[in-house]
Structure 1
Amino acid sequence: MRTLGVELNFNNVVAIFSVAIPVLAFVWEFVVIRRKRLGYRLQMDTLATDTAHAPSADVLARMRDDGHELVEPSFVLVRIENAGWREIVPGDYLTPPDDKTGIRVLFRDRRVVGMAVTELSQPTLRHFFVTTRDGRTQETDGFGKDWEDGVGVIRLPKVTLNPGAHYKILAVLERRGGNAHASFPPPEFQAAVTGGMDHSFAWVRWLARLKLAHTESHTFASRPAVGGLALLAAAVLVQASLTLFFPAKPAPLDCVGGTLYLSGSTAFAPAVTAAAKEYTKLCSAKGAHIPVDDGTFVNSTDGITRLEQAGADAGIKGNDGLRNRITFSDGLSQGKHDQLLPRPVVYTLFTLVVNEDAQVRNLSLQQVRDIYAGKVKFWSQVGGKPGLPIHLINRNVGSGTRNALEQRVLGNKSVPAAKVADCTALNEDQYGVCEVTGTDSLLQAVSKDPGGIGYSEVSSVPSGNLVKLEIDGMPPTLVGVEQGTYPYWQTEYAYTFGEPPAGSIAAAFLRYLTDQGGKDILREYGNRPCSETRYPLVCRPT
């Protein structure tokens, strides 16, 4: 896909974002946030009793208030400033209109004894702190000190501050809590201002409501920092430009591009789908694409049919192979397919699943055969819930999971034919049989039917009300298969139409599954890669 003359592949999109994100961050920081930024600096917070720097400092420790000597007195110097580029006015402070205080500074374990405004960047700011009433100079309503629930409070008024304007407050405090000589908790500053946007940018105004910011001595950055940022921005622009207009196209050694179409077993679908996603991610630079949707995997027989039809449609003859098709089958296909080549990939583990309402967790192999032969029709006959009939929920003909059940568990006996077309139509008081088309459909049907029993690849069974049955006391595990104590497993084969060309995506994906990172993904889904068995071409438990 090309837009404005630029190929929009993954690397180019990353390059575009590498330019766009810093630009947007700059606009946000210096156009939105810094429009109005109320900041503070705690320039001093020290004990008057600290004699480390001057032996005569103990004189300060003898300060008194109302006749009593202050307990561990301390001095605090706070600077409040406008660190933005727009004026801060009283209406910008996020407090109720009738509250004259705009900022509160809290001192836990300390009481504020007295305070004074020590520095004003503009003399006219004095009127925000003091006023004349009845011929006496007094503090304004928004300026003062309080004692609230064991916390000393300095209240600062809603001061109008031009960009860069500031004022400082010097306060004397004494200990009123905590352990003697222990460090005081740091002051807590409480204030916020709005972004100051007009109504046309109301959404930005809402986003830009800011808390009081802790500012440093430089409101932006030092000159060396500015120079470093400029060099960094230049480097990013150069790198992004090279990526966009002079793109490199690296590719992993074994990657092959193109589109690969998969089909076949629904039981094996989760594992091979995960491997396909990882392959396309690794080989995206080569344009590898493996589409997977709800109709990709139907059953093993359907996959064989699709593969043969694709070969016929492509006119493949002689020793040529189809380069873009693979189908997966639970076990060898039962028909005659002279032009198809099977390759063992893994042997996979299956399990019988029952609804937990059946109250059964273990069956003997003979009990399983009797259930599928119709000799046992109620769960109470095998130690389950009294009065609950058994409902066999089978896969349709052509399912490799069903074939594996008949071959390895039922002694080559077929499962009974379905009596109804819809599993929800089974009589809840009678033994019954129905069929579904896929693994997910089977698991959902068993989950909804209290007397349901079905079968699935082990890793596909979700948590919930489904029970993985033990057979003769053996849980469904690869260890049980390899020890010969658990019977329900099958070799998974990858079928191709002829031998896929060495440089085709079909051949590359098969190599990935059998000899590269794909086999690690298959192992995560409870399969045993054939390459890890004693005889890989046979791929059976030893």
Structure 2
Amino acid sequence: MGDFPVEIVLALIGIAVPIGAFLYEFVLVGRKRLGYRVQMDTPVTGEVESVFPGVLPQLRPSLDGASPDLKDLSVVLVRIENSGATTIDTHDYKAPDRIGLHLRFPQRMVIGMAVTELSDTGLADSLDHDSALAVREDIGGHIGVIDLPKVPLDRGEHYKILAILQRSEGTGEYPAPVLTGGIKGGRVLETRSRTGIPRMMLGLTVFLVLVIIVQLIVTAVQPEPTPLECASGKLTLVGSSAFAPVVREAAEQYEKRCTGAKFVFGFEGTERGLDRLAEEGKDNSGLLAISDGPKGSGYPALVHRPLALSLFTMIVHKDVGVRSLTETQIRDIYYGRVRNWREVGGPDLPVVLVNRIPGSGTRNTFERRLLGGDQPDRPHVSCTAIKGTVTSGAAHCNVQVTKDMQRAVGEIPGAIGYSEFSEAVQADLPTVAINGVAAGRDAAIDRTYPFWGVEYAYSHGELPGDSLAAAFLHFLVDQTGKDVLRAHGNAPCAELPDPVRCLPDA
């Protein structure tokens, strides 16, 4: 429907109508409202005197000592109440004399009446013999009338009139009694029993349901608006296998909102990702590399963009049993000075070092944060080659990506390695506290936990502002993508107390 804000208009109508109904009902016409309700209108059959001995003689008047013949009788009970929001005083009645209201009974005459119930005993003063309460006939005796005085009623107060009536004309059912009169600034109206759903409430409910149905129909037929950060095209993401699950999930979230976007992944490690970007990325805004740490000096054309503080952890085989190591112990293990787990409180089991291959961003972060420099040179050994073998002494092996690291540590007895924290937890691998501090985002932010790194996105030169790569990075660091970063235990760089910490030379 174009740019016309149909949903907003419907929402405003849905708000305005109930408010208007409330103001109309309780402010305009409902502030002063005198209601009446016929609670009983019953024909009397059979021997009245034998059923209710002594009642009718008290209610019906005597004429020269003789009562009129009683036939075709009915008993009516009418409740008169203040059903408005404010008090009704004697001066609120429109009638100029002492009579305030007229209770009329078409086709019947009144042969007896009584006030049967007062919500407050103080009302009796307005309904005694000195008041304007009286019985008369109108229209040639065809309509019986009970004149009611001007009774002051507080909110919710009421009184009831019981009348004995005799038919004056007609046959069949009696016309309903009617209360007439006027209230200044209000009205006199027939009310209903408060059991069940009030008509106004039912009407408002139906109206609101219809508004909701119309909104659903409008939403269904309208095309989903394209979010402002959306861009279309294809974007290839390569690089860090440690950060791959985070980027994949963020890309899936982006594709749900931006159906014109398509993502391709090639997470084979930081070094391979940077190499591919350097070789293929020139004049290609559809290629980004994700790196666990700064790129170094070998890629001068690549431009960095900090993403998040990423959490890493040491992992061990379940049989090792060691759940905490100091930084010194970790250095001694990887420099070959500790060769059996019993030397650090573990079982009599040779240590098997599992490393990422040189050039891995995760390995660089591990060496920079925990070892303080490069590891000793060791010949390359595939972890697949030593699985299932019995080692009599310390051993080592290398893996290509994070998943291979987790698999090797989980399968080789005595193995120790390192991994992105949330992926290690998801793989159900035992993690190791460092210096007695467990891996945690807050501990990494306040630097009490030492094994953390910064994730970067690299492009070949600056990105066009309308490119999918630029839009996706904006989504990742400034919009909904930040929730994905946090869900994986990372801290978005923009939310750090010291954001300069994410700069490559920090």
TM-score, normalised relative to structure 2: 0.54
1:276 is matched with which residue?
A: 251
Q: Which amino acid aligns with 2:494?
A: S
Q: Which of these residues, 511, 517, 520, is aligned with residue 483 of structure 2? A: 520
Contact 1:416–1:433 under 8 Å retained in 2: no
Matched, 1:440 2:374: no
Contact 2:311–2:439 under 8 Å retained in 1: yes
Give the total of aligned pairs. Answer: 293
Query: Which secondary structure does the structure 2 equivalent of 1:305 belong to?
Result: helix
Distance 1:355 1:422 in 2: 14
1:170 is matched with which residue?
A: none
Contact 1:372–1:416 under 8 Å retained in 2: no
Contact 1:423–1:435 under 8 Å retained in 2: no
Matched, 1:255 2:230: yes
Distance 1:254 1:505 in 2: 9
1:301 is matched with which residue?
A: 271
Q: Which amino acid aligns with 1:276?
A: A
Q: Which amino acid aligns with 1:403?
A: N
State the shift of 1:252 in Å. 1.0
Query: Which shifted more, 460-469 or 437-446?
Result: 460-469
Matched, 1:510 2:473: yes
1:411 is matched with which residue?
A: 372
Distance 2:470 2:414 in 1: 45
Distance 1:434 1:266 in 2: 18
Q: How does 1:429-468 map to 2 (within 5 A)?
A: 429-462=392-425, 466-468=429-431
State the shift of 1:303 in Å. 0.8
1:486 is matched with which residue?
A: 449
Distance 1:418 1:326 in 2: 32
Q: Which amino acid aligns with 2:438?
A: P
Distance 1:482 1:239 in 2: 47
Distance 2:427 2:258 in 1: 37
2:357 is matched with which residue?
A: 396
Deviations 1:348-388 (A, max 9, x none): 010010012011111111110000000110001111011x1
2:326 is matched with which residue?
A: 364
Q: Which amino acid aligns with 1:364?
A: T
State the shift of 1:263 in Å. 0.5
Query: Which secondary structure does the structure 1 equivalent of 2:430 belong to?
Result: strand
Distance 1:378 1:437 in 2: 25
Deviations 1:205-250 (A, max 9, x none): xxxxxxxxxxxxxxxxxxxxxxxxxxxxxx9xx999x96xxx8473
Distance 2:299 2:426 in 1: 39
State the shift of 1:254 in Å. 1.5
Contact 1:344–1:538 under 8 Å retained in 2: no
Q: How does 1:97-108 map to 2 (within 5 A)?
A: none
State the shift of 1:479 in Å. 2.1
Distance 1:452 1:372 in 2: 12
Matched, 1:377 2:339: yes
1:155 is matched with which residue?
A: none
Deviations 1:12-35 (A, max 9, x none): xxxxxxxxxxxxxxxxxxxxxxxx
Distance 1:472 1:538 in 2: 22
Distance 1:463 1:273 in 2: 16
Matched, 1:328 2:301: no
Q: Which amino acid aligns with 1:471?
A: I
Contact 1:298–1:438 under 8 Å retained in 2: yes
Distance 1:412 1:350, change over 3 A: same
Contact 1:367–1:382 under 8 Å retained in 2: yes
Distance 1:539 1:463, change over 3 A: closer
Distance 1:362 1:444, change over 3 A: same
1:212 is matched with which residue?
A: none
Distance 1:239 1:481, change over 3 A: closer
Q: Which has the larger radius of gyration?
A: 2
Deviations 1:131-151 (A, max 9, x none): xxxxxxxxxxxxxxxxxxxxx
Q: Which amino acid aligns with 2:253?
A: E
Distance 2:320 2:248 in 1: 33
Deviations 1:463-504 (A, max 9, x none): 576211011111111222223221111111110111110000
State the shift of 1:306 in Å. 1.0
CA RMSD of aligned residues (A): 2.9
Deviations 1:273-295 (A, max 9, x none): 100000011111xx111123xxx
Deviations 1:307-363 (A, max 9, x none): 112224xxx3xxxxx321111101101232221100111010100100120111111
Deviations 1:384-425 (A, max 9, x none): 011x10001111111111000111100113255245234442
Contact 1:357–1:451 under 8 Å retained in 2: yes
Distance 1:304 1:463 in 2: 27
Distance 1:419 1:310 in 2: 29
Distance 1:357 1:368 in 2: 18
Distance 1:494 1:309 in 2: 16
1:267 is matched with which residue?
A: 242
Distance 1:365 1:416 in 2: 20
Q: Which amino acid aligns with 1:330?
A: D
State the shift of 1:450 in Å. 1.6
Distance 1:335 1:433 in 2: 29
Q: Which amino acid aligns with 1:281?
A: K
2:496 is matched with which residue?
A: 533
Q: How does 1:145-224 map to 2 (within 5 A)?
A: none
Q: 5+ residue gaps in structure 1?
A: 1-234, 317-321
Q: Which amino acid aligns with 2:448?
A: T
Query: Which secondary structure does the structure 2 equivalent of 1:279 belong to?
Result: helix
Q: Which amino acid aligns with 2:392?
A: D
Contact 1:418–1:435 under 8 Å retained in 2: no
Contact 2:318–2:429 under 8 Å retained in 1: yes
Query: Which secondary structure does the structure 1 equivalent of 2:253 belong to?
Result: helix
2:263 is matched with which residue?
A: 290
Contact 1:260–1:289 under 8 Å retained in 2: yes
Distance 1:370 1:461 in 2: 23
1:349 is matched with which residue?
A: 311
Q: How does 1:494-505 map to 2 (within 5 A)?
A: 494-505=457-468
Query: Which secondary structure does the structure 2 equivalent of 1:281 belong to?
Result: helix
Q: Which amino acid aligns with 1:282?
A: R
Contact 1:393–1:423 under 8 Å retained in 2: no
State the shift of 1:521 in Å. 0.7
Query: Which secondary structure does the structure 2 equivalent of 1:332 belong to?
Result: coil
Query: Which secondary structure does the structure 1 equivalent of 2:319 belong to?
Result: helix
State the shift of 1:535 in Å. 3.8
Distance 1:485 1:239, change over 3 A: closer
Identity %: 40
